Amino acid sequence: MQLALQLDGRQARFAEVDRRLRRRYSPPGPWFRLDPVSQLVLGMVGGRTYEADSRRAFLALCDRYRGWERLRDAPLAEIREAIQAVTYAEVKARRLKAALSVITQRRGSLTLDFLAGWGVAAALAWLESLPGVGRKTAAATLNFSTLKMPTLVIDTHHLRVLRRLQLVGPRTTLPDAYDRIVPYLPMQWRAEDLDAHHQRMKTLGQDVCSHAEPTCGLCVLRDLCPSAALIGKTD
C-alpha cells in the first residue's frame, strides 16, 4: 500500500525508502578519508565529470604539486593542463586557485581543520562563500573528509530519485533539496549513516532510476513512487 503523499507523511515515506535501500544494497565503503582541503579539491574537480576522470585529475594534481599551497600559487595554464580530462577544466582551474587563495587570506594558512569546531549550518555557509563551491561540494567536504560532520550529500542522481518520489518538487535545486530533506532524517544518524544513505540513493539513480531510461520494474521503491505509473504509461 502506497504511503500518504502529504507533507506530514514524508518522514514515514523517507524511513521506508531508506529501509528498502538498506535491504537491497550492501553497506558502501569503508572509504579512505582525505583531509578537508584535499576533499574540497577533489569535489571541485569532480563536478559534472565521470568519477574515474575526476579521480584521475585529482591524482594528477597530487603528483604534480605535492602540497596544495603549490597548487594555489601555480599558473592557471599549468593547473588547467593537469586537469584537462575533466569537464570545464579552465573554469575549474580558475575556481580552484581562487578558493585556495581565499581560504589562506581568511585564515592565515591553507587549512579547513578549524571547521571541526563549527556547527553544520555555519560550516556549510562558510564553504559556500568560497569561489566555485556549491552545496554538494561543501557537504562532501564536511562529511567525506576527516571532519566526519553529519551533512547529507545530494548529487544529480540522488536528486532525480527524490524528485520522482515526490519528496521534493520537480524543479527543486540541490541546496533546496538539502534544506527540505534534512528535517526528515533521523536525528541519531552519524556522518557514516548519511554517507551510506547517499551512496545507496546514488546507486539507485545510476543503475535503475536513470535519466533517459528508468527501469521501474526493477526498482525496490516502485510501489512508493508516484512517477513509476506515469513512466510506465509512456513506455
* pLDDT over 90 at 235, yes or no: no
* Residue 230 pLDDT level (bands cut at 50, 70, 90): confident
Least confidently predicted of 30-44, 149-163, 204-218, 219-233: 219-233
pLDDT score, position 47:
85
Length of the chain in terms of residues written = 235
pLDDT score, position 8:
53
Write out the H or E segment, with its range, that includes residue 192: helix 191-207
pLDDT score, position 233:
54
In the numeric block, the cell 528508468 is attached to 214
pLDDT score, position 234:
46
Q: What are phi and psi of 83, to 5 degrees?
A: -115, 25
**Contact between 142 and 151 (Cβ < 8 Å):** yes
In the numeric block, the cell 582525505 is attached to 34
Distances (CA, A) of 63 to 67, 70, 115, 132, 177: 9, 11, 27, 23, 36
The residue type found at 42 is L
What share of the chain in percent tops pLDDT 70?
95
Mean pLDDT of the chain: 92
